[in-house]
Every structure is written in C-alpha cells, then in structure tokens.
Amino acid sequence: MLELIESLEKTGLSELSAVSTPDALEAWRLSYLAGSGKLKAAMAGFKDVPREQKPAVGARMNQVKAALEAAFEEKKAVISAGAAAHAERIDVTEPGFISSQSFGRAHIITRVIEELCEVFGRMGFAVAEGPELEDDEHNFIKLNIPAGHPARDPIDNFYVDSPLTNARPRMIRSQTSTVQIRVMEAAVKEGGGRLARPIKIVSPGRVYRPDTVDATHSFMFHQIEGLYLDRNVSMVDLKTTLLQFARAYFGEDAEVRLRPSFFPFTEPSAELDMKIRLRPDQPARWIELGGCGMVDPAVLELCGIDPEEWGGFAFGFGIERIAMGRYGIPDIRLLFENDLRFLRQV
C-alpha cells in the first residue's frame, strides 16, 4: 500500500510537470484528483491495510494528497498567468488601421481670433479680456456716451435691467470698447490713482445687438478692440498700425482706406474699409471693417488719466467681417449655422 502511494506521488508529479495547457491540466486533474481518479482508487485499499500500519499509511496518504493538490494549484496559477500574458501581448510594429472617425478642430471664428491676436502680438499688443455682462458705466458713460444719447436706446441694446427704472442698468455688451475702460481703470488702480505706464492691448470677444439678421449682420458677433496709450502717439501711428496689420493678415496687396467718421469716444474718428471680393463671380468691393480714432480726452479724464500726459488711439473691428474677407465667406450666417459641410471647408 505504501509503495502504491509513493509511486502515485512520483508519477503524478512528473506527469504534472509535463503539463503546459489548460486542457492537459484538466485531463491530469481527472486522472489523479477527481472522484474517479487514482488517488481515490488508492484510498479505497486503505480498509485492507493491517490495523497497526494504519496510522503511518494514513498519514502518508494525506501527505501525498496534499502534495498533489498543492502542485495542481501551483500549475493552474502558472498556466492562467501565461494565458493572460499571452492575451496582452501586442505587436507594436503592426500598422494601425485608419478609421473613418474624423477629428474635430477649432471653429473658424476661434481660429481667426487666434490669428489676429498673433499678428497684433507681433506688433506689441497684449491680449485683454472683459465680461460680456456689463453695466452702462462701461458700455456707455465712460466711453463719453452720456444719458439721453441715442446709442443707448433700448431698441438697439440688450438690457438686462430696465434702463427706465435703474440708475445703473446692466446689459450684455454692445461693443468690446468696454474693455478699453476696464483696462484703463485697472492700470490707474495699479499706479495708485494715476497712469504710470503705457497701455497696448487688443481684446477679442462677443458683442450683442438686436440687429435683423442678413448676409452681413447678426444679433451676436465678435469684435476685436485695440487700445494704445503712450506719450506722443499720433494719427500716423494709427494709420501705420492698421496698414501693417492689413498687410500682415491679408497679404501685401491688401487695399485699405480710412474714411472720416464719428464716435463719441474718439476725436478725430475714422472708419476702416477694406477691398474684399466675397464671391468669385463678383468684383471686389469696399467693406467696412470697423471704427478707429484718437482716444477722446474726455474718455481719458473719465478714467482718471491726464490727457496732457497721455494720449493714443483705439480701434474696434468686426471679426466676422475680417474672417469673411480672409477666407472668402459670402454670408455671415454660414458662420453660425454650424453646417458641417461648410465647417469642413474652412
């Protein structure tokens, strides 16, 4: 009986050591450990073992059973670890397959804003931002547009508070010129109540006006505002800056012109037009990009800046108009309808 058990252990362990697949392991388990297996069969002979040998044979039998079971568990762990490692093996040199998935990208307006900030950045303008929810102090009063001015008419603005019952009604801004005021206020605060350094910023952002939508108008659009304050800034600097901008952004043959105009916050004021061909079948025509001028001394005073010491120019252009000119987009509505067939083209 003892010999039978010993040989069972020997052959069992040696056969198990040759096992390398889950199927072979299962066959081994059935052969040795299962109810119909060799171990059970050997144990059946225990009843015939002489009584005095029973404790020793019994102990040895338990040892062999434990040894075979432990060896089985160990092998099982090795084989399943191997299978997992195999499953995870990836050939990194395999070429990937090109999926039909398309990649997103920034909207054309966002890209134009980035390009404009880059071009003005090269001319020394930092980028400033301001809130879209404004008050009439920044949208009007400090821009020299006092109470009663026609530009404040509720027909032409999106007021949040009624301008009839509120002294300081809030509104969603109708122009990015609000940021000029905020930047000047912040610089004066920084200087302890006076302006102590030049200001040179551009500020892109959304503006809102209850305009009727057509090919060149929308109730929401984007502007880029510019402000340059220093000692001895002249109209020539304004003209040069705008010409340089036009050539850098639209190309050396860009045609621009300044037309005398009026804005409450600049004196003198001008409008910047650019010759743009919006449709290939139509001749290029003059399109108004926005306004500009020398900052009115009244605005500087309202912001706590001494107009005897500081002066400069400002401008505010429509970004959609610039995008339309730069990329030949004939209708502003295309920019907001988000038709993928259009967005993929530009």
Q: Which of residues 25 and 295 has its CB atom nearest to ligand DAH in the complex?
A: 295
In the complex, minimum distance from the CB of residue 246 to ligand DAH, in angstroms, rounded to a whole number: 16
In the complex, minimum distance from the CB of residue 235 to ligand DAH, in angstroms, rounded to a whole number: 12
In the complex, minimum distance from the CB of residue 165 to ligand DAH, in angstroms, rounded to a whole number: 26
Q: Which of residues 175 and 216 has its CB atom nearest to ligand DAH in the complex?
A: 175
How many angstroms separate the Cα of 8 from the Cα of each of 38, 46, 69? 8, 14, 13
Q: Which of residues 32 and 221 has its CB atom nearest to ligand DAH in the complex?
A: 221
In the complex, minimum distance from the CB of residue 176 to ligand DAH, in angstroms, rounded to a whole number: 7
How many angstroms separate the Cα of 67 from the Cα of each of 10, 33, 62? 11, 11, 8
Q: Which parts of this chain interact with ligand DAH (CB under 6 A)?
A: 175, 177, 225, 263, 266, 290-293, 314-316
Question: Which stretches does DSSP call E strand in the chain?
Answer: 126-127, 133-135, 158-159, 170-172, 199-208, 220-230, 256-263, 266-276, 285-295, 311-318
Q: Which of residues 31 and 261 has its CB atom nearest to ligand DAH in the complex?
A: 261
The Cα 227–Cα 61 span in angstroms is 96
DSSP 8-class letter at 175: -
DSSP string, 74-110: HHHHHHHHHHHHHHT---TTSPPPPPSPPPP---HHH
Q: Which of residues 144 and 177 has its CB atom nearest to ligand DAH in the complex?
A: 177
The Cα 324–Cα 318 span in angstroms is 10
For residue 169 the two structure tokens come to 């009604």
Q: Which of residues 32 and 263 has its CB atom nearest to ligand DAH in the complex?
A: 263
Q: Which of residues 28 and 263 has its CB atom nearest to ligand DAH in the complex?
A: 263
In the complex, minimum distance from the CB of residue 294 to ligand DAH, in angstroms, rounded to a whole number: 8
In the complex, minimum distance from the CB of residue 314 to ligand DAH, in angstroms, rounded to a whole number: 3
In the complex, minimum distance from the CB of residue 204 to ligand DAH, in angstroms, rounded to a whole number: 13
Looking only at the bridges linking them, the beta strands covering 133-135 and 158-159 are unpaired
How many angstroms separate the Cα of 149 from the Cα of each of 141, 238, 274? 10, 27, 29
Contact indicator for 145, 151 with CB cutoff of 8 Å: yes
